[in-house]
Amino acid sequence: MSARPDRTPLPRDFYDRPVLAVAPDLLGRTLVRRTPDGPIELRITEVEAYEGEADPGSHAYRGRTARNASMFGPPGHAYVYFIYGMWFSLNVVCGPPGHASGVLVRAGEITVGADLARKRRISARRDAELAKGPARLAAALDIDRSLDGTDLCAGPTAPLSLLAGTPTPADQVSVGPRTGVGGDGAHHPYRYWITHDPTVSPYRAHAPRRRST
């Protein structure tokens, strides 16, 4: 039998590293969302790294704004953003304050609280689809902008936290370009996922959005 996932909270210095080191190291970790209805837990299976002002694909590429301010804060905090007027996405802030790098949590396996996640993801045909993609993950875990800036190291009463879980061995990690990123950042190999895991989202190349006339 495999060992149970480690319930130790990840310390601040785990996040205070280069984003390309933190991103693959998040695979297999346990994301905990505490809601008034009960906890929901997720084993992270897919992530993407964003290098802040050095990365054309990052929200911080053109500097600090009210929207992305959490990315410039201390490591170990959440950056939650709203996109296309429809969806939320969760990012983990990495590196020293002011560096603005972060990891997008793209997908995962719900391991606790699947009944709560199903109520929020009624279109999911099977449990492997509950958090298959960043918007679906945020919906399943009831994550919205109210959680932007949450300290992931604040302890067992925090609405969001990350536990050590079961780190994924390097030989089980796949690497490729980020989903939906265009321009100069399109081909950066900054997407990491657990190879052959059924909860990983499909890759989609960037498709420019057409403006309505």
Tens digits of per-residue pLDDT, 33-47?
999 999 999 999 999
Least-confidence region, from 62-76, 167-181, 193-207: 62-76
What residue ranges do the domains of the chain occupy? 6-194
The percent of residues in the chain predicted with pLDDT above 70, rounded, is 92
**Overall average pLDDT of the 54-69 stretch:** 77
End-to-end CA distance of the chain: 59
pLDDT given for residue 48 in this prediction: 96
**Confidence label for 28 from pLDDT (cuts 50, 70 and 90):** very high
Higher pLDDT, 49 or 86: 49
Least-confidence region, from 70-74, 194-198, 205-209: 205-209
**Confidence label for 80 from pLDDT (cuts 50, 70 and 90):** very high
Would you call 4 exposed, middle or buried from its count of C-beta atoms within 10 A (0-12, 13-18, 19+)? exposed
Nearest to 34 by CA among 156, 165, 197, 137: 156
Mean pLDDT score of the chain, rounded to an integer? 91
Nearest to 101 by CA among 67, 126, 71, 62: 71
pLDDT in tens, 127-140: 999 999 999 999 99
**Overall average pLDDT of the 86-93 stretch:** 93
Q: Check whether 211 has a pLDDT greater than 60.
A: no
Residue in this structure with the two tokens 């809601």, named with its chain if needed: 35
pLDDT given for residue 65 in this prediction: 83
Superfamily grouping for domain 6-194: Methylpurine-DNA glycosylase (MPG) (3.10.300.10)
Q: How many residues does this entry show for the chain?
A: 213
How many whole angstroms separate alpha carbon 93 and alpha carbon 121?
A: 26
**Confidence label for 2 from pLDDT (cuts 50, 70 and 90):** low
pLDDT given for residue 1 in this prediction: 42
pLDDT given for residue 172 in this prediction: 98
- Asked if 46 and 194 touch (Cβ cutoff 8 Å), the reply is yes
Q: Check whether 208 has a pLDDT greater than 70.
A: no
